[in-house]
Amino acid sequence: MKRPYQVDGVDRNKKNKKDVSKMKVHWKLYGSKDDLSEEFNSFSSTSSKDTDELKRDMESVSDDGKGKSRLTLSKDKNPYENSNDVDDDVALKQKNFGDDYEGCIVINKKIEEHNSTAKETAKNSLSTSKSMPDVSKMKAAIKPHFKYASHAYGLRMMSKKIFNTKVELDVENIMIVIKNNDVSLIYLLRELIEWLLAKYPALTVYIEDKVLQNKSFDVESLISDIKCPARRIKFWNVKFLEENIGFFDLVITLGGDGTVLFVSSIFQTHVPPVLSFSLGSLGFLTNYKFEHFKKDLSRILNNNKVKTNLRMRLECKVYRRREPVINPETGKKLYVSELISEHHVLNELTVDRGPSPFISNLELYNDCSLLTVAQADGLIISTPTGSTAYSLSAGGSLVYPSVNAIAVTPICPHTLNFRPIILPDSVNLRVKVSMKSRATAWAAFDGKNRVELFSGDYISISASPYAFPTIESSPDEFINSINRTLNWNLREEQKSFTHMLSDKNKEKYANDPIKLDQAEESCEEVELQEKIDGSKIDIAMVKHMMNPERKSMNRLEQEEHESS
């Protein structure tokens, strides 16, 4: 009789019995205690040894609080060691997840309530449809492509959990960045620092050293007003950031999206969580209002756990092609490309024709495979965050920030059929200036640090290992931002004509039963994860199908699947 089990690895049909005999088998059975006793008796009959040990395991059956019991029986030796019934049984070699993990099959037996006739039949039969596992599914589940699909699904579930995870935020050192050349922001900065230092005595605030030169800031009067030690207000510059990686616990920006991009440019490796207050013009990345800074900062600093969006950045490496040298072994010219700069961009890389009157001729590769040759004013390689910037203006698509993708958007292409494309983040792109190009090209990284590219020069683009974490203001902040800034899919609803009714008909309309029945506030919705038998539905049937006891076994199976 074939039993439900969770094992790993080696086909039992192999002739090497030593490997099988050393395997430890775990039996996981679910059901009532009486059913488990029946399973135990059948299990012990397959083995001639260690029955007393199995009985001790049977006595340790524990109830899970949901009317079900769980029994785990372990044997250091193969229960089929002296049995010939091994033709259709499959085993999996146990491994840790880190060492070439190949998957684990878990077959759960569903123990349902049987009537007395069914139980009597089960006792007299060696196998029934309820107790016998589906061997064909077991065989299929160990095939490599099934394992591959199962692992891919597990990674997607893990990515979903990471996306919804809240991280601890123990703040001691706060860095504040403000938009330059705006005097009004200096006074807002003073208000923010006064409130932070007065409410949180353990905090140290760091501001840019350029602010010290501004007479409106007046750090000495600020210290005397809040009566705090001068050491709690310090200054930072780019050199300090390079020498103290991972020093800051939180970055607060006062400005627009440009201020956030500036923070990305000065943190080229690890970035602390960024909290952005909207004091600019548009603000796709600035989802906090400064007038509510006391409430928002109190919530974030007191709760210690925040939800952050790990925004993808691009790692861009610029290679310059040097003059060739002769290889004495082959007699051929050898061209060497040297790395001249590296950038991690939050929005986009732009390669365009610059001041040249000629159209650019750019070759786009993926892992040394030519994708296309772009004859256009340029190319935009953007992140999902940058999809609302230059790429959107050039006709690119909006991409949700949590999607790991790279968007390629041409700038005024010579052919109208060269449309934007979204590629997975696993690609390794290369934009190369063609040897046939009539002019040079220019590259810009988030609109800064422009570099001239000559024929043969190229830029490699891949997903950066250093994400840009922004503190989430609400779960739908991206949709709110494009609604607010772009009026995305905004249209006026059809107006009601009730204003043309007489007073008598207005009163009748207000009390119309059909209108009240169609109102959303008078409706409720319930979702069932199964098909309903029959055509008529009443409230008793709905309550019965929503009974949590009916779902306990399904939840138990789901938990077992996730743990595997």
Per-residue HEC secondary structure of 165-205 comes to CEEECCCCEEEEEECCCCHHHHHHHHHHHHHHHHHCCCCEE
Report the C-alpha gap between 424 and 421 in whole angstroms.
Answer: 10
Handedness of CA 489, 421, 423, 430 (dihedral sign): negative
- CB-hemisphere CA count at 13 Å for 43? 29
Residue 330 carries which DSSP code? T
Are 256 and 282 a contacting pair, CB within 8 Å?
Answer: yes
Q: If the chain, 564 residues long, is cut into consecutive pieces of 10 residues, what is the mean pLDDT of each piece? A: 38 40 39 49 48 50 44 40 40 38 35 43 44 63 81 87 87 92 89 92 92 83 83 91 92 94 94 92 88 92 88 96 89 91 96 94 94 96 96 95 95 94 95 94 95 96 96 91 89 79 83 64 72 74 71 57 55
pLDDT of residue 247: 93
Of residues 118, 135, 131, 134, the one with CA closest to residue 41? 131
Q: How many CB atoms lie within 10 A of CB 512?
A: 10
Identify the bridge partners of residue 251 per DSSP, sorted by sequence position. 175, 274
Residue 532 carries which DSSP code? P
pLDDT of residue 134: 64
Structure tokens at 31: 């059901």
257 catalytically annotated: yes
**pTM (two decimals):** 0.69
Structure tokens at 420: 């934007």
Q: Where are the alpha helices (DSSP H) in 396-532?
A: 477-486, 503-510, 513-517
Q: Does domain 166-311 have CATH number 3.90.226.10?
A: no
Structure tokens at 73: 């029986």
Are 386 and 472 a contacting pair, CB within 8 Å?
Answer: no
pLDDT of residue 221: 85
User: For 21-27, which contacts have Cβ atoms below 8 Å and span 24 or more sequence positions?
Assistant: 21/77, 21/78, 21/81, 23/78, 23/91, 23/93, 23/94, 24/74, 24/75, 24/76, 24/94, 25/74, 25/75, 25/78, 25/79, 25/91, 26/72, 26/73, 26/74, 27/3, 27/71, 27/72, 27/73, 27/74
| In 68-134, beta strands by DSSP E | 69-75
Report the C-alpha gap between 15 and 31 in whole angstroms.
Answer: 35
Secondary structure (DSSP) of 372-406:
EEEEEEEEEEE-TGGGGTHHHHTTPPP--TTS-EE
Handedness of CA 386, 390, 392, 394 (dihedral sign): negative
Q: How many CB atoms lie within 10 A of CB 378?
A: 25
- The boundaries of every CATH 3.40.50.10330 domain in the chain are 166-311
3-class state of residue 53 by DSSP: helix
Residue written as token pair 């008909």: 505
Residues in the chain: 564
Q: Of the residues 89, 257, 446, 457, which is catalytic?
A: 257
Superfamily of domain 314-466: Probable inorganic polyphosphate/atp-NAD kinase; domain 2 (2.60.200.30)
Residue written as token pair 């060739």: 324
Of residues 360, 350, 365, the one with CA closest to residue 451? 350
Helix axes 51-59, 33-44, angle to 10 degrees: 170
- The boundaries of every CATH 2.60.200.30 domain in the chain are 314-466
Residue 157 carries which DSSP code? H
Handedness of CA 458, 462, 468, 473 (dihedral sign): positive
Report the C-alpha gap between 456 and 56 in whole angstroms.
Answer: 75
pLDDT of residue 544: 74
pLDDT of residue 132: 54
Count Cβ atoms within 10 A of the Cβ of residue 206 and give its class: 0-12 exposed, 13-18 middle, 19 or more buried. Answer: buried
